[in-house]
Amino acid sequence: MSLTRKMLSAMGIEADKIDQIIEGHTDTVNGLKDEIATYKADAEKLPTVTKERDEWKKKHDDVLAKQPDAAKVQADFDKYKADIEAEKTNAKKRAALEAKLIAEGANPDAIELMLHGADLETVKLNEKGEAEEVDKAIEPIKTKFAKYFGEVTEQGAPRKTPPPGSPNPDYSKMSDEEYFAQAEAKQKG
């Protein structure tokens, strides 16, 4: 049912009020018609936009397929983080073992060799991050590398002494001219 002047007159509305109502109603209807036209134009563009989207998607499916899965990325990150934590823990354990080996009299030059085969799992860290049960890990090392334990003494090269009976024991008493003259005479003669 539409809004008409006849219907408004039957309701007992004054003529000037009827004109205002009809004018307002016309503005509302015209605004709605404009919106309908806009939506209709957008609806007509929809097949073109859908076709463009499908073509783009088809063209870029290989790129989208290569994008890493978020769960895989998170799993890789978690593994990396766990590896870093394990490295830190093992570094603390190795430092504790190294200090204990030195205290037990191990050769400092052989500590890397000894730690290479050490079982770091036997060393436990407490809440403060300090190593405990280090002796359990040291015993197999001391057994396997017994020859590297003991007092380390450093020796230099043996002292060299000149052979006895130098040709001229009075070289220290000669001047430079005398020495060179004697050396020249030996070469000529």
Q: Tell me, yes or no, whether 37 and 101 share the same domain.
A: no
Q: Is residue 78 part of a domain?
A: yes
Domain count, the chain: 2
- Domain with 26 in it: 5-64
Q: How many of the other CB atoms lie within 10 Å of CB of 115? A: 18
Q: Is residue 163 part of a domain?
A: no
Q: Is residue 9 part of a domain?
A: yes
Q: Tell me, yes or no, whether 56 and 84 share the same domain.
A: no
Question: What mean pLDDT do residues 133-156 have?
Answer: 80
Q: Is residue 153 part of a domain?
A: no
CB-count burial class (<10 Å; 0-12, 13-18, 19+) for 180: exposed
Q: Which of 108, 131, 146 is the last residue of a domain?
A: 146
Q: Is residue 21 part of a domain?
A: yes
Look at 70 and 54; give whichever has higher pLDDT: 54
For the segment 61-115, what is each residue's pLDDT rounded down to a tens digit? Answer: 776 667 667 778 888 899 999 999 989 888 888 888 888 888 888 888 888 888 8
pLDDT score of 1: 58
